[in-house]
Amino acid sequence: MKKIGIGIIGLGNIGSRFYKEIITNKREIGLKTGTNINIVGVSAKNINKKRNFKFQKKIFFKNPLDITKNPKVNIVIELIGLSDGISKKIVENALKNKKHVITANKALISKHGDYLSLLAEKNKVNLEFEASVCGGIPILRTLKDGLATNKINKVIGILNGTSNYILSEMEKSKNSFKKVLNKAQILGFAETNPQFDLDGNDVLAKIRILSALSFNNKISKSKCLMSGIENIELKDIDMANKLNLRIKLLGITEIINNKLFERVHPCLIKKDKYISNINGVMNAVILEGVPVGQSVLQGEGAGSGPTSSALLSDLLSILRGNIKYPFGISSNKRKNIKSYDKNLYSNSLYLRFEVKDKPGVLSEITKKLANFKISIERLIQIPDRKNKKASIVIITHKTNERNSTKCLQVFKKNKNIIKNPTLIRLF
């Protein structure tokens, strides 16, 4: 049995669970790979923090970079999670020192993945990051292996458990965004600072990784159509419900006329569609490819269990001795695909205006929309007489992003419109 040393850097929720899973599964991993694995180094901010497992003090490294150059270490697991700084240094140094690297760090991979994968290839070691996208769904491995040589056309996903939990729970409990977010934080479904989960950045990072694996392109740096769920109110959830629709934060990437179109935004989806029935903290990915047709994968997206499952699968892949290109093909074969001009993207929109309840306001709005040739499919007005306000919900026919953005700009100057209109794209 070949002896393999593992170094784990970061012993938070994920790192601790992974540590224990390795101990528990050591025998089975040995059976499956013919290796004798041992954790020979760990590093964390605080050696003395209370943890529900024990490790020998002699394997603790105060400076995590020391793990990356320790001759006993063959595989470095980076679980700190920064897009730059020490996380980047750890991965960089480990690869340069010919250590395999496993990371759950989507921020790092979506920003520096091209550079780091080249580094891994040069040093003939693996860089694995299955856990960076939908922990419980082996989506990267499915794209690299299970569906390899399929021509993927489109990927649609519910990729952020926090957002999906909040939207589901608002619908179920009829509680406000704020209240539900608070509950999510208590239950551990949202972080203390949930900004990246709510504003779409977390989904964008995952979508960029998925694009690279689906279309063999270098990770796109261009600005993407993105909005999060922070502006979704209970009113919108209710209205969607009445229209037999459901709001979901989707990440979508596809090739349109040989150009890459990545986007992240809430969508209004018919309730009978599969994707609108993925509720709570679940994640789901729909792949459309040739020859396979449509493939759907669903599972828990985050949490220490699903994430450990992904990390273990990366570990096994390395232990089985498969040196693989991190993105499925060699870096120099990966293409730069131009970005699709998001302004050309055309879609039906849901617009909610909060207005003063005064005569003429509605006609001001509809007139402006007409000026921009945005035609109305449906209009619903909900008065709030007590506060002399009203909500006006408009479902438009298709219009492109350039047009709708310009049009919504104009409303900013209108004093009868109390706040920026809420915009949700129809699926």
Binding of residue 138 to a copy of itself (CB under 8 A): yes
Binding mask 71-110 for a copy of itself (x = CB under 8 A): ----------------------------------------
How many residues of this chain bind a copy of itself (CB under 8 A)?
Answer: 54
Region near a copy of itself per CB under 8 A, out of 79-87, 115-123, 141-149, 387-395: 141-149
Binding of residue 298 to a copy of itself (CB under 8 A): yes
3-state SS string over the chain? CEEEEEEEECCCHHHHHHHHHHHHHHHHHHHHHCEEEEEEEEECCCCCCCCCCCCCHHHECCCHHHHHCCCCCCEEEECCCCCCHHHHHHHHHHHHCCCEEEECCHHHHHHHHHHHHHHHHHCCCCEECHHHCCCCCCHHHHHHHHCCCCEEEEEEEECCHHHHHHHHHHHHHCCCHHHHHHHHHHHCCCCCCCHHHHCCHHHHHHHHHHHHHHHCECCCCCCCEECCCCCCCHHHHHHHHHCCEEEEEEEEEEEECCEEEEEEEEEEEECCCHHHHCCCCEEEEEEEEECCEEEEEEEECCCHHHHHHHHHHHHHHHHCCCCCCCCCCCHHHCECCCECCHHHCEECEEEEEEEECCCCHHHHHHHHHHHCCCCEEEEEEEEEHHHCEEEEEEEECCEEHHHHHHHHHHHCCCCCECCCCEEEEEC
12 vs 299, beta carbon nearer a copy of itself: 299
Region near a copy of itself per CB under 8 A, out of 63-71, 177-185, 301-309, 344-352: 301-309
Instruction: Name the minimum Å distance from CB 140 to a copy of itself.
Output: 9
Q: State how far the alpha carbon of 74 is from the alpha carbons of 178, 208, 374, in Å.
A: 46, 29, 60
Instruction: Name the minimum Å distance from CB 145 to a copy of itself.
Output: 6
- CA dist., res. 278 & res. 274, Å (int): 7
Region near a copy of itself per CB under 8 A, out of 37-45, 231-239, 321-329, 380-388: 321-329
Region near a copy of itself per CB under 8 A, out of 46-54, 130-138, 229-237, 413-421: 130-138
Binding of residue 148 to a copy of itself (CB under 8 A): yes
29 vs 76, beta carbon nearer a copy of itself: 29
**Is-catalytic flag, 221?**
no
| The only residue of 36, 222, 244, 330 in contact with a copy of itself, by rule CB under 8 A | 330
| The only residue of 150, 175, 231, 381 in contact with a copy of itself, by rule CB under 8 A | 150
Instruction: Name the minimum Å distance from CB 311 to a copy of itself.
Output: 10
Binding of residue 234 to a copy of itself (CB under 8 A): no
| The only residue of 309, 391, 399, 422 in contact with a copy of itself, by rule CB under 8 A | 309
Region near a copy of itself per CB under 8 A, out of 103-111, 144-152, 167-175, 232-240: 144-152
Candidate list 206, 342, 386, 415, residue with the active-site label? 206
Instruction: Name the minimum Å distance from CB 267 to a copy of itself.
Output: 20
153 vs 347, beta carbon nearer a copy of itself: 153
- Selection from 426, 231, 252, 271 nearest residue 348 by Cα: 426
Give the residue numbers marked as catalytic: 206
Q: Which residues are at the interface with a copy of itself (CB under 8 A)?
A: 17, 21, 25, 28-29, 31-32, 130, 135-138, 141-142, 145-150, 274, 277, 289-300, 303-306, 308-309, 312-313, 315-317, 320-322, 324-325, 328-330, 333
